[in-house]
Chain A
Amino acid sequence: MTAPDPDEAGDDPEYRDSGLARERTSLSWTRTAIAFAALGGTVLKVNLATGLIILVIAPVIWQLGRVSRGALPGADGGPPAMSEVSATRLFIITVSIVGVALLCLVIAILGRSAPGALR
């Protein structure tokens, strides 16, 4: 599973250029940031402080996807090598979701419910 040889790429644009995969991954990061924002908006209805915290995470997540958007230069000034795509970014997302889930668990168990708050 090594990088494709450009001479053997054939007609498949996906095979010739990994840019499409990069773009799909970039869109995926954007969707994840939007999901965080949507969750923050929902939580905002029941707990203002927690909702704001989650809303602040959304642009951070979007920014974490910058490697997939190719904004970071590689060691030679070109696009970043995949080895530079660190596990730290994905670890931060995992920790964020677990933290948000714990906050929501506390709100769910201890918070006052507001039936019909979204009406």
Chain B
Amino acid sequence: MSWSSRLAALLPGRVERDTGGTEPDPRFTFANERTFLAWSRTALALVVAGLGIVQLLPPFPGVPAGRHLLGVPLIALGAVLAVAAYTEWVRNQRALRRGEPMPLSVMPWILAATITGIAIIAAVVLLLSALR
């Protein structure tokens, strides 16, 4: 399956027309929706954290780009997480309808890896700032 057809399969019109399988238990559908909303709030929190770092923190002495190094990836990660959350919701809903095993989520891995990376950058920026 090509990337364009994979993307097209995520559009709401396609998802709503997908009537394969049977209607799942409403509790599972609600749980899937709540998981999506929880990831969406996480994405929003990352965006606000990134914006706060860039706009509201005082500059790091000796590291003029320090705030941008920390804040911009957080905002970008927020956008990525929002899209990934929707993709996961579609995949999970399809699996629920068809009674298939739930697909493995890559989102915790993405979040953990990015936060680890940003923590390392933050440590380096703070060290450089303290040494100057």
Contact = CB atoms under 8 A, between A and B. Distances in A.
Interface string A8-24: 00000010001001101
Contact of A105 (B23, B34, B72, B83): B72
Nearest to B86: A94
A81 B75 contact: no
A98 B16 contact: no
Contact of B55 (A28, A46, A87, A91): A46
B68 A108 contact: yes
Contact of B51 (A1, A21, A81, A107): A107
Nearest to A86: B16
Contacts of A36: 44
B48 A38 contact: yes
A35 B44 contact: yes
Given A46-B56, A83-B23, A97 B51 contact: no
A114 to B, nearest CB: 6
Given A28-B34, A86-B12, A97-B79, A3 B58 contact: no
Contacts of A116: 56, 58
Interface size class of A (residues with CB under 8 A): 35 or more
A109 interface: yes
Interface string A100-119: 11101101110101111110
A31 to B, nearest CB: 6
A88 B33 CA distance: 12
Interface in A56-87: 68, 81-83, 85-87
A104 B50 contact: yes
B47 to A, nearest CB: 5
15 contacts: A2-B22, A3-B26, A25-B33, A25-B37, A31-B41, A39-B47, A42-B51, A85-B29, A87-B16, A94-B86, A101-B47, A101-B75, A104-B51, A105-B72, A108-B50
